[in-house]
Structure 1
Amino acid sequence: MKKVFLSVLAVAALSLQSRAQETFPRNGVYDERSGLRAFTNATIFVDYQTKLENATLVIKDGKVVAVGTKVAVPQGAMVTDLKGKTVYPGFVDPYTSYGVPTPPTRSFSFNSPPQAESKKEGAFNWNQAIRPETNAVELFKVDTKAAEELRKLGFGAVLTIHQDGISRGGASLVTLANKKENQVILLDKAAGALSLDKGSSTQEYPSSIMGSIALLRQTYLDAQWNAKNQDKEQNISLKAFNELNRLPQIMEVSNKLNAVRADKVGDEFGYQYIFKGQGDEYQMLPQIKATNAAYILNVNFPDAYNVEDPYDARRVGIEEMKHWEMAPANPAMLVKEGVAIAFTTADLKDKSKFLPNLRKATSYGLPEQEALKALTFTPAKLLKAEKYVGSLREGMEANFVVASGNLFDPTTMLLENWVQGQGYKVSETPADFRGVYTLKVGSQPERRMLISGTPEKPELKVVAQDTLKGNLSLSGELLTMTFAPAKNGKESIRLTGWYTGKGFQGEAQLPDAQMVKWTALLSEADTQQAKRDTARSRSNEALNLGKLTFPFAAFGRTELPKAETVLIKNATVWTNEKEGKIQNADVLLKNGKIAQVGKNLSANGAKVIDGTGKHVTPGIIDEHSHIALDGVNEGTQAVTSEVRMADVVNHEQVNIYRQLAGGVTTSQLLHGSANPIGGQSAIIKLRWGQAPEKLMFEGADPFIKFALGENVKQSNRSPQYNVRFPQTRMGVEQVMVDAFQRAKEYQKALADYNKLSKSQKAKTPAPRRDLELDALSEILKDERFITCHSYVQSEINMLMKVADQMGFKVNTFTHILEGYKVADKMKARNIGASTFSDWWAYKMEVKDAIPYNAAIMHNVGVTTAINSDDAEMARRLNQEAAKTMKYGGVSEEDALKMVTLNPAKLLHLDDKVGSLKAGKDADVVIWNEHPLSIYARPEKTFVDGIAYFDVEQDKQLQLEQEKERLRLINKMLAAKARGERTQAAAPSRRGADQVLHCEDLGTGSEETYQESEYHQK
């Protein structure tokens, strides 16, 4: 059979099809043979759900002519008997860079000035990362070597994308045939390609994910405006962008969070993205499902970590360990939730791992039918190419794969891959000697011998206690083998022999050098049982997975805590209300609110906590924080009011949990201080385990970060950064004035347009919507509020005067270490202060800072808060507040208000949080000591009446986490013992434990640090 099949392949290689280059002249005689072929007696999957036995497939001119169980073989057709073989539709990879140039690596030099404007000449977009005019079809060249590599995996068609930039242009659907380019292109523009990575662009903007999101949003708006105002501006990029938006949109993202973030942009502008993910989608299943998107999944499952050294093992985060274990189950989990998936070879350095990893996904619960669907039908449907590829129906491309059996059986081999009616040999059918044999060596007792592995690489393996273990080598039908007859393994028997049709026979040399005859006869019953045992062991692998945690990080829980009715009895209660501090009082929490505060309270069904000797306070509020963010600064331009911190909230950052352990319940996440006008703030509640959108403080007023001083004029950067305006404190003032002047003109233009009648609007172009000016207009309308980073008296005075001049208000000066010099002016304008307790002398502009600053402002009547601006300090804000008692004699109740009620007032949230009053949110902390003591420690921290931190539960959580780590370590050690590949243990790069500061650029990743001039603390 083997020789017959090879001869068929040889004939197939000579077959030609007539899908010729009709418009090309030919040098030589014309060959117009149609390539009429019939493949008979095969198991054929017409599509992922239609399986035909003993069926026939007929192709002609590179197309499917007929397929079925009663198809007559056409006269003159070349017939190939595929008895015992299985035919599948050719696979479709919806995310490759096949045949297009590799984008250049983004260059960076510490000695080069930043690039503010695009260097691309012509009527293109202002930002180099927006390149929708790029068309893969114009760059595409057939790559026979790359095509062969993909064909060996079963692929017949791929989507090729020039993977560079945020808007990447048009992607083309091509086949993997070795033909001219114009013959293999099925769809010249099959999809538009997007990402949140600026790619090779050497322009500074954007330098962060939030900047990328803002740029994409603005591009959608500009494209809409340009389509209606081409008489005002001709823009090749925006015109191309509008054209691409009619196609399927594929968005590449680097993680599950970015998928959720990007989906919001798509929803905003009415586009449903197809996401090319990174395999961690299962970690946020509800949010991923809610995107309603299809996901293109890689099978780049991580290798186990080498954790033999206990110290190395400590370097690996539990989230990395769990991801190693659970990543192969990602496709199955998504399909179970009804999410459409397709598979890609992308991200695999070794593409030969594609099929083994795909099969691994099926052993982890992915139904084989769904796996086949994800290889064929779904990618074709997503690209609106169902009439070309993905199935084997009349008129479709003759793209199909011939396999030796069930595709998802690890022993199955791909034999041929036909692309556009042209056959390509993938591999030959090897002899398969696997099975259980009864081994008889001379007069010795019978033994069982199991040959397992794959047909190409057979091996001896133990599946039961009495099964022989040794070394085996097969060359054709010749076998050599050694095994130890005794358990000590000091002596061995060596065998050589050949295949007889029913087993093996030959000669063996015993440990005493005696030569004897031996036989090994195949036992059919035992062989079938061994196959069942192997299948069972593979299925059990997926059943032993750990549980998902919320969040998928250290200190994540398998179940989120729930709200209860809680009655805290006999505690010292710090109300921050007119009642002040009440001894031996009770607090009732019910339905997420403070129900009652008083003495001798009772409540049916309440969980009672004995507060004797304990103190109860409102949750701490941090007015100035940078935790839980994937990036702090978009510091590339002087004004970046278009960026939003809410776009980059990371709910998995462990500092959320750590700060709950310090009594913090609410944080304002501010943009950094890299520019005079920074980004829009996010105010969150520390609901550990909830997704980013559920961390947001509902109904909170919107804020924005401004900054003054050394950072914004870039005096802390190297000389080549002297090109961005402003470079002086005087320039900062002009940036502010100019920005608000533009915002006023923008407001007027919008107002004038809105006054027009419907008929007038039809004749008058609408003003271009500008996200940067939208935010500044909200400030002018008292709809958005300013928190301003500040230090020096002169600059504080400057901004107050600019605000008076331009008609806006400053809500809060943060840091404000010279606030004691201008407290009267702040009081007159009702401006609040959020300051440090005793920071000074860490740079020149704080040389006049004094630790009495907070007390002085407080005594003048300025609403004063103590903030952290630091992830570590935020865990001790109660102690920072206590310092105002030492420096300035502030009362203990007023000191506590500086981290509770006062920041609530600054954030306009004092009607909801900041004090213990009936009707307010149940954000409450139970302390073991006086809350302003250095010995004080929160025992429970409630947010909305839910105990998101409990010191006793924390002990249990840490114990469970260590047990889970040990389980995973043992599992990785077992994987290494089985011969699986491992990777070196290394610290996490997921960002869950990163600490960012006001001056940090980018996201805090390794790449960003290399590009940053400084990483300051």
Structure 2
Amino acid sequence: MRKLRHWLFGLGGLLWLHHVQAQNTFPLNGVADPRTGYYAFTHATLVKDAGTTLNNATLVIRDGRIVSVGANLPVPSGAVEVNCQGKFIYPSFVDAYSDYGTPAVQRAPGFNFGAPAQLNTATKGAYGWNQALKAEQNAFAVFTADETKAKSLREAGFGAVLTHVKDGISRGTGALVTLGGDKENFALLKEKASAHYSFSKGSSTQSYPSSMMGMIALLRQTYLDARWYKQNPVTEGKNLTLQAWNENQGLPQVFEANDKWNVLRADRIGDEAGVQYIIKGGGNEYQRIGEMKATNATFILPLSFPQAQDVEDPADARMVSVSDMKHWELAPTNPAAFERAGIPFCLTTADLKDAREFMSNLKKAMAYGLSETAALNALTKTPATVLGVYNEVGSLDAGKWANFFISSGPVFNDKTVIYQNWIQGKKYVVKDENWADPAGSYQVVFNTANGPVNYTLNVKSGTSAALVGGKDTVTSKFYYDGRSVRINVAPERSTENLYRLSGTVGGQGWTGYGEDSLGNRFTWTATAANPATAKADSARRKAPGALGKVTYPFEPFGYEEGAQPKAETILVRNATVWTNEADGVLQNTDVLLRDGKIAAVGKNLTAAGARIIDGTGKHLTPGVIDEHSHIAAASINEGGQSVTSEVRIADNLNPDDINIYRQLSGGVTTSHILHGSANTIGGQTQLIKLRWGANDEGLKFKGADGFIKFALGENVKRTSSTQNNRFPDTRMGVEQVLTDAFTRAKDYEKAWKEYEANKSKKGAVAPRRDLELDALVEILNSKRFITCHSYVQSEINAALKVADKLGFKFNTLTHILEGYKVADKMKQHGAAASTFSDWWNYKMEVIDAIPYNATIMQRVGLNVAINSDDAEMARRLNQEAAKSVKYGGMSEEDALKMVTLNPAKMLHIDKQVGSIKTGKDADVVLWSNHPLSIYAQSLYTIVDGTVFYDRGKDEQMRKSLAAERQRLVRKMVGEKRGGAAVTPALPSYQLMHTCSDHSHSHGLLTVDAEEVE
């Protein structure tokens, strides 16, 4: 066995015996060194994986690979022995989400509504039609080792990363690389290790997609296009993007979601395509952990936690939302929430400004409940397993790459230091100091001429020790540098019996020569008596103290787990009931709600166990239905093209929108969430019930007919833009867009019918599935219905003629402020009208608006509704309806129907809602006063028999909310005064979507002071 002194392996002077391939293609400028890296790391506490720890273990590596691992293994002949007495060896971490070594991506500027549209891709070559699809992009082709970044990652314990180019909605393939400083040829472990996707266009300047729902539609369509491309269609030619897309489907599929709701959006894309994504989260997934588990995905979780904000100034503090403060407090609980829920996850340095923050943030997450075992798995086995490379990295097993680090103790302990990180068998220094702390107890043997003499040496530090022999304890002069040791002692306190010892640090301990005061020489050995051992979950950190609760939704007025409202049996007694049926308004009447339905309407009703609500002096009406709303959506307009019927509001609902709760306070129970008016044929709409606290699927009005948004006029032809290059540019062009779209839809439908009739014949090829045309075919077959943004009588006439010619119908004309001019033609066509009460003069198209419009259209025989198109107006739609009583002399019952039964009929849901009738959904509102009065307040808003708004409870919640705000402010102030870094107070903004034509987003940016009413 070859022995070398430990000084060869000190951090300051390691003689590196670099492993080299016996043969390679690179020329050598210098003298060849054929020696191989052959090492035995002995006497270590070796953490083989999260479930296996070996004491006094040996790790043998050769040529960059692990040869053997075990306890008390002999050191192989020819191996260089590295004594790791008292040290820990761990598998180096694996980061499953990185852009290490790839070029920086220049993000495209935001969409400018007034600027010219880039309608076509700027990518040159035989690639796909959309610049944001980069399936052909390969990280390995552009990977360059970056020693600066690699060093910071190694210092955090990482040895390998999955890297990709973070550019595009489809990002191509990722590569598994190590963090060594060798040539890229050696660092590259797997060229194509994964395929990547996101909801970010990255550097693409192409106009489409310009919204969340557009990105989702693009992904859905591309999955379909790629399958179609496998048929080798002549009409497509060579499409390298679709070719690469198909080739990449066999790889692990990684989706960057970055938000809890985006997680669900991505998962549904995967479900539709038959793909299970590995999902990169954003840190707020703990807010919907049940939904996260239901995805069956493995997650990649960042440890980028928000800083406390500087809220000492009350003027600043009042603009910081409770939601933001709660997230600051609870964000570190995210990994622990995944562990408790049994959801597999990896941890990543992604989203950190500096990888050196990783370990401190990880320890913070552990203080908030994450166990050491789960943390280690999330950094080793889990990422290696989901990427299909556990046979290469992720644990210390024979045959795997020699990626490991050596630390002073359990890696997650606060005082632990990582000394070295070995990558593919090459050592990288992390902490340049004596890695071997000699503190401890040693059994010392002097091999004198008179026989062995035994002592115990207690070392306190590198300069102080005590030698114990018999009954005596003598303080010794002690010198230790990790490579050699010197001790001067007088064991029997006899000045004539002084001993001087010198030795070296070896594999089994210390060995050397000694001399007594008479000049007698002898050999001596010292063996550690109490080597360090690992302890499971040994790092005990300061607990974070009392934490706030997760609420559903994660907003003010949300409900804690278990406190969510549930359907009840409710008996409203002695109310004035506005039935909207032939019975009209009933005085002193009872209404029984049971199992989410209206069970009975009458007098003196009884129901065992029912919750009794006294309606005396109060008014009970059907819930308000808003036919035209833009709340509860992450995006509203997909304005990148003139026809975007493939996009769906359903794909980007936002259940956390505080406007859901606010509108419940105004009696709204159902809202029709529309696409905006940026294009002639917009996106598919979504009807929701305002079930505050539900997730996005829970909001949807099940079984309702599908609708779609069309638009006419200024918004479509972009009157506000002087640089519009997107067709149409005139109202005449709008007609042609409609004509062209439905002509194509008819041809598409015909092609599919022909295929279905002949698909059994040889050579039959299915047409390309087109989601845009699918929706238009649904309209032609009366399976999807149009609600159309409209103002001017001339274009309304033109649109009706196009529809009549091509065989489709406008179900509803919304806004329709010149409806009084064309009411007869609308009636003939069969269109309904959803209008404003008295909005006027906000642009040229509405200059002829009059407050008598609704009444005139109603008298002609149209079904007329009053809508909001505005989050604030929706809270008082009952008052908006009442204006027609004032302006047009409409009856009170007819006025109320304009925000209840009439929109229900427009939306084809009048069999479920819109009136108080036995068997209908229990969607009702109890008002404090006449429902058309400006003094009327909603006391209870009930949806499906569940009280989602209770004015009395609301007052209690406001008090609790005020207390919670003050608690969080005090905690943030304490963070600052405790010396922690804080950020300036940041107001929380919310985009209030409307059908304004002044911005692409159709919204107003407002400060979100949702907890201050």
Same fold (TM over 0.5): yes
1:192 counterpart residue number: 195
**Which of 622, 626, 638 does residue 622 from structure 1 map onto?**
626
Q: Which residue of 2 aligns with 1:473?
A: none
| In structure 2, C-alpha distance between the alignment counterparts of 1:921 and 1:289, rounded to whole Å | 31
- CA distance change for structure 1 residues 53 and 662 in 2, over 3 Å: closer, same or farther? same
Of 358, 362, 368, the residue aligned with 2:362 is 358
Equivalent residue number for residue 150 of structure 1: 153
Alignment-derived partner of residue 803 in structure 1? 803
**1:600 Cα deviation after fit:** 1.1
Equivalent position of 1:69 in the other structure: 71
Q: Distance in 2 between matches of 1:74 and 1:1002?
A: 71
Q: 2:396 aligns with which of 367, 374, 392?
A: 392
Q: Please list every run of 5 or more consecutive structure 2 residues that lacks an aligned counterpart in the other structure.
A: 440-460, 462-480, 482-534, 1007-1013
Q: Which amino acid aligns with 2:888?
A: G
Partner of 2:734: 732
Asked if 1:173 is matched to 2:176, the reply is yes
- Distance in 2 (CA, whole Å) between partners of 1:546 and 1:865 is 43
Q: Is the contact made by 1:229 and 1:765 (CA closer than 8 Å) also made in structure 2?
A: no
Report SS of the residue matched to 2:189: strand
- After superposition, give the CA deviation of every residue in 1:315-368 in whole Å (9 maximum; x if it has no partner): 211111111111111001011111111111111112211001111111111110
1:101 aligns to 2:80 (yes or no):
no
Letter in structure 2 aligned against 1:291? T
Q: How far does residue 272 in structure 1 lie from its aligned partner after superposition?
A: 0.6
* Cα displacement string for residues 605-626 of structure 1 (whole angstroms, at most 9, x for unaligned residues): 1111111110000000000000
Identity, % of aligned positions: 56
Find the counterpart in structure 2 of residue 464 from structure 1.
Answer: none
Q: Partners in 2 of 1:736 and 1:374 — Cα distance? A: 53
* Structure 1 CA distance for aligned equivalents of residues 359 and 832 of structure 2: 62
Say if 2:311 is the partner of 1:307: yes
- Residues 837 and 880 of structure 1 are in contact (CA less than 8 Å); yes or no, is this contact kept in structure 2? yes
Q: CA deviation at 1:27?
A: 3.3
Instruction: Give the superposition deviation at 1:696.
Output: 0.1
- By how many angstroms is 1:996 displaced? 4.6
Distance 1:206 1:20, change over 3 A: farther
Mapped partners of 2:291, 2:70: distance in 1: 43
The 8 Å contact of residues 6 and 83 in structure 2, kept in 1 or not, is answered as no
Is 1:639 aligned to 2:643, yes or no? yes
Distance (Å, rounded) in 2 between the aligned partners of 1:161 and 1:49: 31
1:535: Cα distance to partner?
7.4
| Counterpart position of 1:709 | 713
Measured after TM superposition, the shift of residue 539 of structure 1 is 4.5
Name the amino acid aligned to 2:790.
Answer: S
Question: In structure 1, what is the equivalent of residue 84 of structure 2?
Answer: 82
Q: Residue 788 of structure 2 aligns to a residue in which SS? A: strand
What corresponds to 2:521 in structure 1?
A: none
* Amino acid paired to 2:957: L
Whole-angstrom CA distance in 1 between matches of 2:241 and 2:758:
31
Residue pair 1:841, 1:847 contacting (<8 A) in 2 also: yes
1:127 aligns to 2:130 (yes or no): yes
Is 1:291 aligned with 2:285? Answer: no
Q: How does 1:125-274 map to 2 (within 5 A)?
A: 125-232=128-235, 233-274=237-278
Contact between 1:209 and 1:1003, CA under 8 Å: does it hold in 2? no
CA distance in 2, matches of 1:405, 1:134: 42
Indicate the residue corresponding to 1:443 in structure 2: none
CA contact (8 A) 2:10 2:435 kept: no
TM-score, normalised by the number of residues in structure 2? 0.87
**Contact persistence 1:632–1:997 (CA under 8 A):** no
Deviation, 1:757, is 4.4
SS across alignment from 2:660: helix
Give the aligned partner of residue 44 of structure 1. 46
Output the CA distance in 2 between the equivalents of 1:361 and 1:160.
24
- With over 3 angstroms needed to count, the CA separation of the structure-2 counterparts of 1:177 and 1:410, relative to structure 1, is same
Corresponding residue SS for 1:26: coil
> Using the alignment, how far apart are the partners of 1:749 and 1:20 within structure 2?
63
Matched, 1:425 2:435: no
1:758 partner SS: coil
Q: Distance in 1 between matches of 2:141 and 2:421?
A: 27
Asked if 1:874 is matched to 2:880, the reply is: no
Task: Tell me, yes or no, if the aligned pair for 2:408 and 2:435 is still in contact at 8 Å.
Answer: no
Q: CA deviation at 1:982?
A: 1.1
Separation in structure 2 between the aligned mates of residue 742 and residue 343 of structure 1, nearest angstrom: 49
Equivalent in the alignment of 1:439: none
Deviations 1:754-810 (A, max 9, x none): 0114243xx222100111001001000100000001011111111111111001111
Offset, 1:105: 2.8
Q: Tell me what 2:34 maps to.
A: 32
Q: Secondary structure of 1:105's partner? A: coil
Distance 1:6 1:279 in 2: 45
Output one character per residue of 1:393-419: Cα deviation in whole Å (capped at 9) or x when no partner. 111000001111011111111111000
* 1:8–1:80 CA contact under 8 A, matched in 2: no
Q: Which amino acid aligns with 2:813?
A: F
1:603: Cα distance to partner?
Answer: 0.8
CA RMSD of aligned residues (A): 2.2
Q: TM-score, normalised by structure 1?
A: 0.86
Change (3 A) 1:20 1:863: farther
Moved more, 696-705 or 96-105: 96-105
- 2-structure distance, mates of 1:951, 1:21: 80
Deviation at 1:231, TM superposition (A): 3.8
State the partner residue of 1:831: 831
Q: Structure 1 residues 1001, 280: closer, same or farther in 2, change over 3 A? A: farther
> For the residues of structure 1 that align with 2:591 and 2:284, how far apart are their CA atoms?
42
Once the two structures are overlaid, the 10-residue window that deviates more, 72-81 or 900-909, is 72-81
Match status 1:656 vs 2:660: yes
Say yes or no: does 1:908 pair with 2:908.
yes
Q: What is the Cα deviation at residue 31 of structure 1?
A: 2.2
Which runs of structure 2 are paired with 1:774-853 in the superposition (5 Å)? 774-853=774-853
The code of the aligned residue for 2:732 comes to M
For the residues of structure 2 that align with 1:995 and 1:795, how far apart are their CA atoms? 25
Residue aligning to 1:588: 592
Instruction: Give yes or no for contact 1:626–1:998 (8 Å, CA) kept in 2.
Output: no
Measured in 2, the distance between the counterparts of 1:230 and 1:819 equals 48
Question: Which range moved further: 193-202 or 102-111?
Answer: 102-111
Contact 1:306 1:972 in 2 (8 A): yes
Q: Deviations over 1:441-464 (max 9, x none)?
A: xxxxxxxxxxxxxx9xxxxxxxxx
Q: Which deviates more, 169-178 or 227-236?
A: 227-236
1:21, 1:182 within 8 Å by CA — same for their partners in 2?
Answer: no
Structure 2 counterpart of 1:693, one-letter code: E
On the 8 A contact 2:555/2:658 being kept in 1, the answer is: yes
Query: 1:308/1:430 Cα in 2 relative to 1: closer, same or farther (>3 Å)?
Result: farther
Secondary structure of 1:755's aligned partner: helix
Letter in 2 for 1:922: A
Counterpart residue number, 2:11: 9
State the number of aligned residues: 903
- Once the two structures are superposed, residues 898-942 of structure 1 have per-residue CA deviations (whole angstroms, 9 ceiling, x without a partner) of 000000000000000000001100000000000000111101100
Cα pair 1:812 1:906 within 8 Å, conserved: yes
Aligned AA (2:684):
Q
Residues 43 and 55, structure 1, Cα contact 8 Å, conserved in 2: yes
How far did 1:830 drift? 2.0
Alignment deviations for residues 224-246 of structure 1 (CA, whole Å, 9 cap, x no partner): 11111244421000000111111
Deviation at 1:107, TM superposition (A): 4.2
Q: Could you give the per-residue CA deviations for residues 424-481 of structure 1, whole angstroms, max 9, x where no partner exists? A: 1101457999x9xxxxxxxxxxxxxxxxxxx9xxxxxxxxxxxxxxxxxxxx9xxxxx
Query: Please, which of 533, 547, 553 is the counterpart of residue 545 of structure 1?
Result: 547
Tell me, yes or no, if the aligned pair for 1:19 and 1:183 is still in contact at 8 Å.
no
Distance in 1 separating the partners of 2:234 and 2:7: 66
Cα separation, 2, equivalents of 1:834 and 1:6: 85
Q: Deviations along 1:587-640, whole A, 9 cap, x unmatched?
A: 111111110111111111111111111000000000000011111101111001
The 1:5/1:699 distance shift into structure 2, 3 A limit, reads farther
Partner deviation per Cα, 1:696-749 (whole Å, 9 max, x = no partner)? 0010100000000111000022x112x110000000000000000000000000
Structure 1 residues 163-172 or 299-308, which shifts more?
299-308
Cα distance between partner residues in 2 of 1:535 and 1:65: 31
Give the counterpart letter for 1:14 in structure 2.
Answer: W
Structure 1 portions without partners, runs of 5+: 436-454, 456-475, 477-530, 1010-1017
